[in-house]
């Protein structure tokens, strides 16, 4: 278990007092007034209360059970349970959801109406997490057929699974699932045949992804060692890095066709987005011109002047969009020393 920092220990102590005294306002204040990373570290910490495996969600559930048994009333513990679940990111929810479900069942709290929604959310999270874990096990097996089966088993939840984040066990790095087959430790020596399977599995994930999922993956950008955003895409940069790193085993350009496919999708997406912006701007210009003419006809010169100014502003937007389109045609400057992906927030430890 990772040792808490001094700040995190203070947060931990404050939360214990607030939860013990059933003060949801103080709990919310602690969440609002501290950095997210510190809150997540505290919520992931075990050894809260009497049980050495108990976390803060367990602690709140135990408090609810005690209140029901001793006082015969729910009190404020339900609200605190909801607050903890709401503030928890994916990594924290992955860590606490199984024990929470066991605690609700063990204490016979499933029949409390006020808990119905949050229990359903926790159960749904666990269900999607289990699908994700099954998919990752299939990926680590390097069995393409098992990966296909795991993806099919996701059914209508495939989008929820594919947009989950990967949290590595030995760092704060976060990756999206598309990168997982290229980054996970397979705990074996890999030859050219294995790298072909890795490529095929990565392509399976891409092919299964809807446009919304692909766009989610492509939102992230790389930062350099100085923490500056380079505007280069993290996914493409990661693919190019892995292609170069394993070229001596997998062969030169072993990922090149897939990289070009991703780049092509990204470029088409940007073109469509710029065309959409252009249509909106043209629509605004048209409305302003028509409005100005109508205003002159109706002898409202002040209104006409405002609409004329709006039309000029809209034309300026069009000129700006044209410049953006030109920039999108030129190649991006390649990022140096890419570090952490900001893709999002939560997943399993890769070697589990």
Tens-digit pLDDT profile for residues 75-101: 678 999 999 999 999 999 999 999 999
Distance, in Å, from the CA atom of 11 to the CA atom of 288, rounded to the nearest integer, reads: 55
Residue ending a domain, choose from 111, 135, 155? 111
In the listed set 78, 111, 144, which residue is the last one of a domain according to the structure? 111
pLDDT digits (tens, 9 = 90+) for 142-152: 999 999 999 99
pLDDT of 43 higher than 70: yes
Distance (Å) of CA 52 to CA 36, 43, 60, 106, 108: 24, 14, 15, 17, 22
In-domain check, residue 325: yes
DSSP 331: P
In the chain, the percentage of residues whose pLDDT exceeds 90 is 55
Pair of tokens at residue 47: 């050894």
Domain containing residue 308: 270-329
In a domain, 94, yes or no: yes
Last residue of a domain, one of 88, 111, 134: 111
CB neighbour burial string for 186-201, b if at least 16 within 10 angstroms, e if fewer = eeeeeeeeebebbbeb
Helix (H) or strand (E) holding 230, with range, is strand 229-233
pLDDT at 311: 54
Distance of CA 24 to the CA centre of its chain: 27
Q: Which of 4-8, 120-124, 129-133, 344-348 has the weakest average pLDDT?
A: 344-348
Q: Say whether pLDDT at 326 is over 50.
A: no
Model pLDDT, residue 293: 55
**Residue 167 placed within a domain:** no
Evaluate whether 229 touches 333 at the Cβ level (below 8 Å): no
How many helices (H) and strands (E) in the chain?
Answer: 16, 4
Mean pLDDT lowest for which of 10-14, 63-67, 97-101, 104-108?
Answer: 63-67
Distance, CA of 88 to CA of 122 (rounded, Å): 11
Q: Give a yes or no: residue 27 inside a domain.
A: yes
- Asked if residue 177 is part of any domain, the answer here is no
Residue 164 pLDDT exceeds 50: yes
Number of domains in the chain: 2
- Rounded Cα distance between 65 and 44, Å, is 21
Tell me the per-residue pLDDT of 53-80, one tens digit each, with 9 for 90 and over. Answer: 789 999 999 888 876 665 555 667 899 9
Residue 255: inside a domain: no
pLDDT score recorded for residue 333:
33
Q: Is 34 among the domain residues?
A: yes
**Contact predicate 195/250, CB 8 Å:** yes
Which pLDDT does position 54 carry in this prediction?
A: 84
CB 81 within 8 A of CB 112: no
The pTM score is 0.76
Choose between 196 and 335: higher pLDDT.
196
* Short-list 128, 127, 146, CA closest to 137: 146
Within a domain: residue 72?
yes
CA distance 216 to 206: 12
């Amino acid at each position: 278990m990772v040792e808490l920092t001094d700040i995190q220990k203070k947060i931990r102590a404050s939360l214990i007092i607030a939860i013990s005294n059933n003060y949801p306002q103080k709990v919310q204040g602690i969440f609002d007034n501290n950095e997210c990373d510190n809150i997540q570290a505290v919520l992931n910490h075990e050894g809260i209360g009497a049980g050495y495996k108990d976390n803060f969600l367990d602690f709140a559930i135990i408090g609810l059970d005690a209140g029901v048994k001793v006082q015969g009333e729910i009190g404020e513990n339900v609200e605190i349970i909801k607050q903890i679940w709401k503030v928890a990111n994916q990594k924290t929810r992955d860590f606490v959801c199984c024990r929470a479900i066991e605690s609700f069942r063990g204490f016979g709290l499933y029949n409390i109406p006020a808990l119905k929604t949050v229990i359903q959310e926790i159960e749904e999270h666990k269900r999607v997490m289990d699908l994700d874990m099954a998919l990752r096990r299939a990926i680590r097996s390097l069995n393409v057929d098992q990966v296909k089966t795991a993806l099919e088993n996701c059914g209508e939840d495939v989008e929820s699974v594919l947009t989950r984040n990967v949290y590595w066990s030995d760092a704060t790095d976060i990756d999206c699932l598309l990168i997982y087959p290229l980054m996970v430790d397979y705990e074996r020596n890999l030859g050219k045949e294995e790298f072909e399977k890795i490529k095929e599995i990565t392509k399976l994930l891409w092919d299964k992804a809807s446009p919304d999922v692909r766009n989610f993956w492509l939102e992230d950008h790389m930062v350099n060692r100085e923490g500056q955003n380079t505007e280069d895409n993290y996914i493409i940069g990661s693919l190019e890095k892995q292609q170069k790193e394993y070229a001596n085993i997998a062969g030169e350009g072993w990922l090149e066709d897939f990289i070009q496919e991703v780049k092509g999708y990204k470029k088409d997406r940007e073109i469509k987005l710029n065309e959409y912006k252009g249509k909106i701007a043209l629509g605004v210009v048209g409305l302003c011109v028509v409005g100005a003419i109508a205003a002159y006809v109706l002898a409202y010169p002040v209104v006409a002047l405002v609409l004329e100014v709006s039309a000029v502003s809209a034309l300026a937007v069009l000129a700006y969009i044209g410049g953006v389109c030109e920039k999108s045609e030129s190649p991006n400057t390649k990022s140096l020393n890419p570090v952490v992906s900001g893709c999002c927030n939560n997943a399993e430890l890769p070697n589990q």
